[in-house]
């Protein structure tokens, strides 16, 4: 009995250390909590594979986190999250979304607010892409892709690209980004969708090719079906790697910028693990990994690139203005725009 | 009576489990879908409980959607007629063949069914697209580049190639069931070949034509991969439109309404054609 209540030197030291650490308890607790299973809702394919290679295996597994990927198309995963919104504990911790969709979920009240106390690496995020509900994982500017073989003077802006008429390629899934690029050039504001409709109508009437899959763009350029089109710079670099003669021209009015985001759902079963995941995604090693394998730009300021990848991802001088989509305006106009676009295509 | 009761009981016991499975896996989801089709769509909350016919009204009052239904119907009916015209001679030849090559002929018809419709559509893309076989051949003959891809012709051709084997196999089995001696009898009574076909073979093959036609028509009405890949963004058919509303726009109520409209249109057209053919068959 006396042994139990008489503290020895070691016990006293432990107690003192414990008392000294009390003010830091939340941080220690959080670090300890980031364990167990983390379910990541993501696109399948290369993106999912690279999450495993660059974030999960090297950065989270050593910390004892078990990562489960729930792969699927974005609308399906969004539908699932909305369907589970009333459950106190959902089945997903982290959800990977395009930035406009992340904004939609935030408006629906589904996302957990983020700050540096939860995701310390947020302090390195480039200000253009920062927001309080998601982390920008990777980005890529929208460029005018062209065939250097047939296009001797690369188009410098949307108007010059538009002049290619039937030789312009449009990705069906990204038509809205073409509309924003047109609005940016014509109105100086990418949210002036109504004014940009005329540009797209002109292009479609001129016989511009509309591709239902992103992959169909490269064969279009290769076969000479199209000469130019607006796509992500990362895609151009990817196709070039695959042997397609293609080059990027950065529009002088600025580049609409694709951002892939990661968010934590309010009813995530393991929030500590989810924050740890987001923090790891903003780790310079993970960001460089994505740049090297997928040619997407890092979204943080402390992931300087080197060598060949730095050269291929380098933006021209003077650096083009990178413009994320006007998310609230896009969200409000999207349904009407989708309907208008379908009808425009049908009218031929 | 008393001897029949156990038989009835046995029959119910035998069909009971199958009926239960059909009820659970087909009727129940359809009922849920029917309920969804009366709900309303909201971008933020996804689906709002309601009891409104607005999704159906939206479809039928908008020429855009009825136009898509009409395109789907015309493609389906054209490919069905073409399947019949092209498939009948092949099926007849196969059915009446005594050659040892017959089984190889049947195998050649079945073989394309081993390849999924998406892969076959991709094959057609290589044939019809810019830089494809047709384009290259046309270029070699001195013509300027030609692309048949993303046209109703490409979609029709794709669906025809996928559905033709179903028509041939159905017709072949029916024609094999027609006694060859009936044709010989017609021959011996002085009927020439066209007369023999119109008055003997065709009336007897009508049930097979009906079955094959219905099968091929349903497949064409519901085609997804072929119109999506060969028709492109500018060519609209019901199944790809349904998929887009459901999986891209997340508008489940409207997608459910489109699904019901497509299903009911297909079912009623099938039922009508079945009735018409049955009457003709009886008359024949």
Cis peptide before A318 (omega within 30 of 0): yes
The per-residue pLDDT for A301 is 95
Query: Does a structural domain hold residue A19?
Result: no
Query: Does a structural domain hold residue A4?
Result: no
State whether residue B190 is helix, strand or coil: coil
The per-residue pLDDT for A27 is 45
Domain count, chain A: 2
Contacts across the A-B interface (CB distance below 8 Å): 60
Same domain assignment for residues A328 and A193: yes
The per-residue pLDDT for A13 is 56
Domain count, chain B: 1
CA distance A345 to chain B (A): 5
Which of A224, A335, A348 faces B234 most closely, judged by CB atoms? A348
Query: Which range of residues forms the domain containing residue B161?
Result: 49-283
| CATH code where residue A325 lies | 3.40.190.10
Query: Does a structural domain hold residue A106?
Result: yes
Of A258, A257, A263, nearest to A107 by C-alpha is A263
Same domain assignment for residues A322 and A194: yes
Same domain assignment for residues A199 and A249: yes
Same domain assignment for residues A284 and A329: no
Query: Does a structural domain hold residue A18?
Result: no
What's the full length of chain A, in residues? 348
The per-residue pLDDT for A210 is 93
The per-residue pLDDT for B278 is 74
Angle between helices A175-187 and A327-347 (to 10 degrees): 110
Same domain assignment for residues A221 and A232: yes
Query: Does a structural domain hold residue B164?
Result: yes
Same domain assignment for residues A118 and A204: no
- Give dist(CA A182, CA A198) in Å, integer: 9
The per-residue pLDDT for A101 is 95
Same domain assignment for residues A268 and A121: yes
Same domain assignment for residues A77 and A115: yes
Q: How many helices (H) and strands (E) does chain B have?
A: 14, 0
Asked if B236 lies within 8 A of A346 by C-beta distance, the reply is yes
Query: Does a structural domain hold residue B1?
Result: no
Query: Which range of residues forms the domain containing residue A43?
Result: 32-139+258-312
Cα angle at B135 between B130 and B141, to 5 degrees? 155
Asked if A224 lies within 8 A of B46 by C-beta distance, the reply is no
pTM of the model: 0.82
- Give dist(CA A133, CA A104) in Å, integer: 11
Same domain assignment for residues A323 and A302: no
For chain A, 348 residues long, the average pLDDT of each consecutive 10-residue run is 51 55 47 78 93 96 95 92 92 97 94 97 96 97 97 96 96 95 96 95 94 89 94 95 95 97 97 97 96 94 91 90 96 93 82
Asked if B130 lies within 8 A of A83 by C-beta distance, the reply is no
CA distance B187 to chain A (A): 54
- Smallest CA–CA distance from B125 into chain A, residue: A216
- With a threshold of 0.85, tell me whether the complex ipTM lies above it: no
The per-residue pLDDT for A347 is 65
Query: Does a structural domain hold residue B121?
Result: yes
Same domain assignment for residues A235 and A176: yes
B contact set with A (CB within 8 A): 43-46, 64, 67-68, 129-131, 145, 147, 150, 228-229, 232-234, 236, 247-250, 252
Which regions of A198-277 does DSSP assign to beta strands (E)?
209-211, 228-232, 247-249, 255-264
CA distance B64 to chain A (A): 7
| CATH code where residue B184 lies | 1.10.3720.10
Angle between helices B252-283 and B63-96 (to 10 degrees): 40
The per-residue pLDDT for A1 is 38
With a cut of 50, list the residues of chain B below it in pLDDT. 1-2
- Smallest CA–CA distance from A340 into chain B, residue: B64
The per-residue pLDDT for A3 is 44
Query: Does a structural domain hold residue A15?
Result: no
The per-residue pLDDT for A12 is 54
Same domain assignment for residues A219 and A338: yes
Query: Does a structural domain hold residue A52?
Result: yes
Same domain assignment for residues A122 and A176: no
């Amino acid at each position: 009995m006396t042994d139990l209540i008489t503290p020895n030197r070691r016990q006293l030291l432990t107690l003192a250390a414990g008392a000294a650490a009390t003010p830091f308890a939340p941080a220690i607790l959080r670090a300890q909590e980031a364990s167990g299973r983390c379910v990541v809702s993501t696109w399948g394919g290369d993106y999912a594979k690279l999450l495993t290679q660059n974030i999960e295996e090297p950065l989270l597994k050593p910390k004892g986190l078990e990562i489960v990927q729930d792969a699927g198309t974005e609308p399906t995963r969004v539908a699932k999250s909305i369907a589970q919104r009333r459950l106190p504990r959902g089945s997903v911790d982290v959800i990977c979304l395009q930035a406009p969709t992340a904004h939609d979920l935030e408006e629906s009240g589904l996302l957990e607010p983020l700050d540096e106390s939860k995701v310390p690496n947020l302090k390195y995020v480039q200000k253009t892409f920062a927001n309080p509900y998601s982390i920008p994982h990777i980005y890529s500017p929208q460029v005018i892709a062209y065939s250097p073989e047939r296009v001797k003077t690369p188009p410098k802006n949307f108007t010059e690209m538009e002049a290619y008429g039937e030789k312009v390629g449009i990705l069906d899934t990204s038509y809205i980004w073409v509309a924003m690029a047109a609005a940016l050039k014509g109105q100086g504001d990418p949210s002036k969708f109504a004014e940009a409709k005329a540009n797209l109508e002109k292009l479609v009437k001129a016989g511009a090719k509309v591709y239902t899959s992103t992959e169909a763009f490269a064969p279009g350029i290769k076969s000479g079906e199209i000469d130019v089109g607006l796509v992500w710079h990362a895609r151009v670099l990817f196709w070039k790697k695959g042997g397609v003669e293609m080059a990027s021209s950065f529009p002088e009015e600025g580049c609409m910028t694709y951002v892939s985001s990661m968010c934590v759902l309010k009813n995530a079963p393991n929030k500590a693990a989810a924050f740890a995941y987001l923090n790891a995604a903003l780790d310079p090693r993970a960001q460089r990994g994505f740049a090297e394998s997928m040619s997407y730009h890092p979204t943080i300021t402390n992931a300087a690139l080197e060598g060949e990848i730095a050269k291929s991802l380098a933006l021209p001088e003077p650096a083009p203005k990178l413009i994320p989509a006007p998310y609230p305006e896009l969200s409000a106009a999207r349904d009407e725009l989708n309907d208008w676009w379908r009808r425009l295509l049908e009218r031929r | 009576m008393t001897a029949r009761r156990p038989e009835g009981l046995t029959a119910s016991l035998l069909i009971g489990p199958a009926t239960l499975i059909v009820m659970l896996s087909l009727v129940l989801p359809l009922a849920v879908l029917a309920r969804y089709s009366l709900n309303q769509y909201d971008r933020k909350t996804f689906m709002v409980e309601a009891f409104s016919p607005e999704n159906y009204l939206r479809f039928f009052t908008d020429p855009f959607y009825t136009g898509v239904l009409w395109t789907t119907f015309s493609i389906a009916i054209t490919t069905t007629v073409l399947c019949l015209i092209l498939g009948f001679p092949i099926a007849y030849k196969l059915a009446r063949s005594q050659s040892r090559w017959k089984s190889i002929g049947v195998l050649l018809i079945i073989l394309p069914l081993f390849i999924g419709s998406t892969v076959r559509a991709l094959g057609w893309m290589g044939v019809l697209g810019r830089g494809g076989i047709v384009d290259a051949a046309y270029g070699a003959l001195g013509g300027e580049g030609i692309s048949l891809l993303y046209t109703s012709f490409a979609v029709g051709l794709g669906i025809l190639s996928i559905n033709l084997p179903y028509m041939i196999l159905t017709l072949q089995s029916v024609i094999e069931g027609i006694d060859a001696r009936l044709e010989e009898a017609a021959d011996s009574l002085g009927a020439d070949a066209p007369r023999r076909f119109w008055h003997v073979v065709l009336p007897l093959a009508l049930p097979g034509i009906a079955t094959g036609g219905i099968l091929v028509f349903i497949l064409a009405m519901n085609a997804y991969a072929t119109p999506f890949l060969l028709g492109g963004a500018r060519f609209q058919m019901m199944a790809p439109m349904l998929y887009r509303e459901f999986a891209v726009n997340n508008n489940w109520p409207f997608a459910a309404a489109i699904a019901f409209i497509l299903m009911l249109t297909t079912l009623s057209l099938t039922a009508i054609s079945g009735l018409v053919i049955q009457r003709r068959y009886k008359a024949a």
